[in-house]
C-alpha cells in the first residue's frame, strides 16, 4: 500500500504549549508514528514518562532545554501510588538539563522522565512507536492528567 497526503491535511493536535502534526499516527496502517511538534518560546511539555512508547526526536528549528532522568521510574510502584512525596521530589531534583539546538537528536526509552522546554520557538520531528496516548505526567503547567486529553484531539 502507498498512501499520499499533504501535510496540511494531517491530524492537528492542539497543546497548551503549541501543537503536533500527526504525519503518521501508526494504527492501523503503520508500525511507527511520525509527528512534527511545535513548542512556543517560554513554554514546555509535561514532565512525563511512557510505559511502552519509545521515541527519537530531532530539533529542526530553534533551541530547547531537554530535562531528563538517568534512572527509570518504577512503574509498578508508581501505578500503586507507593511513591512518597519525598521520593518523587528527590527524583525531580536529580533531573539533568541539556541544551539542544538545530540538528540535535535525542532518544527516549520507556520509564525515563523527560520534558522539553522551548528557549526559542521550537520545531522538532518525532519518530516513535505507536503508543501515542501512553503518557504519565508528574508535572504539567496546565494540570493535565495522564493519558490522552480528549479536548486536544479535535
* CATH number for 66: 2.60.120.10
43-74: pLDDT as tens digits: 999 999 999 999 999 999 999 999 999 999 99
Instruction: Please indicate, yes or no, if residue 5 is contained in any of the structural domains.
Output: no
Rounded alpha-carbon distances, angstroms, from residue 21 to 10, 25, 49, 81, 126:
6, 9, 21, 33, 10
Domain that holds residue 70: 11-140
pLDDT, tens only, 10-50: 999 999 999 999 999 887 778 999 999 999 999 999 999 99
Q: In what order do the strands lie in the sheet with 33-39?
A: 11-15, 18-24, 33-39, 122-128, 55-61, 105-108
The model's pLDDT over 75-108, given as tens digits with 9 standing for 90+, comes to 999 999 999 999 999 999 999 999 999 999 999 9
Cell triple for 84: 512518597
Nearest-angstrom CA–CA distance, 89 and 101: 29
Q: How many domains are there within the chain?
A: 1
**In this structure, is residue 149 part of a structural domain?**
no
Amino acid at each position: 500500500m502507498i498512501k499520499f497526503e499533504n501535510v496540511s491535511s494531517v491530524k492537528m493536535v492542539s497543546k497548551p504549549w503549541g501543537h503536533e502534526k500527526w504525519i503518521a499516527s501508526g494504527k492501523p496502517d503503520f508500525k511507527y508514528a511520525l509527528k512534527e511538534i511545535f513548542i512556543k518560546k517560554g513554554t514546555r511539555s509535561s514532565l512525563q514518562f511512557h510505559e511502552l512508547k519509545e521515541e527519537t526526536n530531532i530539533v529542526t528549528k530553534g533551541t530547547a532545554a531537554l530535562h531528563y532522568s538517568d534512572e527509570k521510574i518504577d512503574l509498578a510502584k508508581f501505578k500503586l501510588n507507593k511513591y512518597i512525596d519525598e521520593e518523587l521530589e528527590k527524583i525531580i531534583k536529580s533531573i539533568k538539563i541539556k541544551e539542544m539546538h538545530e540538528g540535535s537528536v535525542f532518544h527516549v526509552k520507556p520509564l525515563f522522565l523527560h520534558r522539553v522546554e522551548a528557549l526559542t520557538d521550537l520545531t522538532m520531528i518525532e519518530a516513535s512507536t505507536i503508543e501515542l496516548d501512553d503518557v504519565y505526567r508528574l508535572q504539567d503547567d496546565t494540570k493535565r492528567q495522564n493519558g490522552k486529553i480528549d479536548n486536544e484531539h479535535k
